[in-house]
Chain A
Amino acid sequence: MPGATQELKLLDIREGDDFAGAHLQGSINIDLDGKFASWAGALLAHDRPIVLIGAPGSQQEATMRLGRIGYDNVVGYLADGMMALARSPHLVGRVQRITALSLHEQRQENVPICIVDVRSASEREGGHIADSIHVPLPQMLRHLDELPRDQKIVVHCAGGYRSAVAASLTCDAKLWR
């Protein structure tokens, strides 16, 4: 766990859709417009420096909300946000978003896909995608190394917030594998 959390320093606080479209490689995404502090508290180390990436003005709110849960480790933010990457396309990462129908079709065609359900145990008990594996988001950092490397990984939750976080974690993991 310590090894896994130490590199989680670049925190992208934009919406999951924006992160999926383009983000700085190696950043993780926790949308400020949601249970931001709860997930930051669950996934980030409180004693490692954090650099924020987001829209102008949102950094102050993020710093305040992190401070309220005891995270005083925000050291700064990427100047100009994603505009800073305009001339550095090689640093931009993307996350593909996939519809349920498209996922179904790809499975029918036997495309090797690992479906990761990041919801809670109680949500999963209410029904889940056949052959999906269960990695609740709070435990995801501990299990990143167990995810297959020779398949597409598709993460899902109930509404899209947590899967955006989870997708960013799996992208980030690729950097240091």
Chain B
Amino acid sequence: MPTRDVDHYIADAEAQGLKIRHVFLTHFHADFVAGHLELRDRVGAEIHLGASATTQYAATGMHDNDVLAFGNVRLVTLETPGHTPESMCILSYDLEQSDSTPQAVLTGGTLFIGDVGRPDLGASIGWTADDLASLLYDSLHTKLLPNVPDEAPSYFSYDAEMNTRERPTLEQSLGEGLVALSLMETLARRDAGAQTARHT
């Protein structure tokens, strides 16, 4: 699930001598903008979503146990409805280590540290919290728990630390750019804005 500013993904890939061919959107978001379309347009990547997703752009629907393999890596998708109906998780195998045990799982909005994804955000598309919570319970118990070994790290989508790492501009603004302004400076900003409004 990429952030919308995609330069750093492209730079990271280039630094490793890699090309981005596939973008996985683990789920839809109501509250912020993902960068899958930007990555598609910039590098021609194919977009992957949970199979139940309906989109206005071309995307490959991923079912349970669909496989994408390249080099020594195998990615296996699991449909895990709950946080959203089309949520999915991705098992990541390092075939040099093992072809039967995943080394990591990408849990999107389904599973966090000490918490699970919120099932109560689907009202606008007709899902009750009870229905989504029931789906989430089943996804956790029938998809994730049986397939992910305890020692495999989980990487989820939202996290303050990850957010900071992914957004160096934000980190910079928090560390340096956010300055204390005097009352005079603050008023100047307000009044400059008020003038603009009057003149439009």
Among B179, B190, B196, the residue within 8 A (CB) of A76 is B179
Interface size class of B (residues with CB under 8 A): 20 to 34
State whether B193 touches A77 (Cβ < 8 A): no
State whether B174 touches A75 (Cβ < 8 A): no
Q: Which residues of B contact A (CB under 8 A)?
A: 4, 31-33, 160, 163-164, 167, 169-170, 173-174, 177-183, 185-187, 189-191, 193-194, 196-198, 200
Which 9 pairs show the lowest CB-CB distances between chains A and B? A3-B200, A7-B193, A79-B180, A67-B170, A7-B197, A76-B179, A76-B181, A26-B190, A84-B183
State whether A77 touches B194 (Cβ < 8 A): no
Interface size class of A (residues with CB under 8 A): 35 or more
Q: Which residues of A contact B (CB under 8 A)?
A: 2-4, 6-10, 24, 26-27, 37-38, 48-49, 51, 53, 59-60, 63-64, 67-70, 72, 74-80, 84-85, 88, 91, 175-176
Bound CA–CA A102/B84 (angstroms)? 44
Q: Which of B186, B191, B198 has the most CB of A within 10 A?
A: B186
State whether B181 touches A88 (Cβ < 8 A): no
Residues of A within 8 A of B193 (CB): 6-9, 48
Besides A74-B178, A88-B183, 7 other CB < 8 A contacts? A24-B186, A26-B191, A37-B31, A64-B170, A67-B170, A75-B189, A77-B181
Known contacts A60-B174, A63-B174; is-contact A79 B182 (Cβ 8 Å): yes
Bound CA–CA A51/B181 (angstroms)? 8
Residues of A within 8 A of B167 (CB): 67
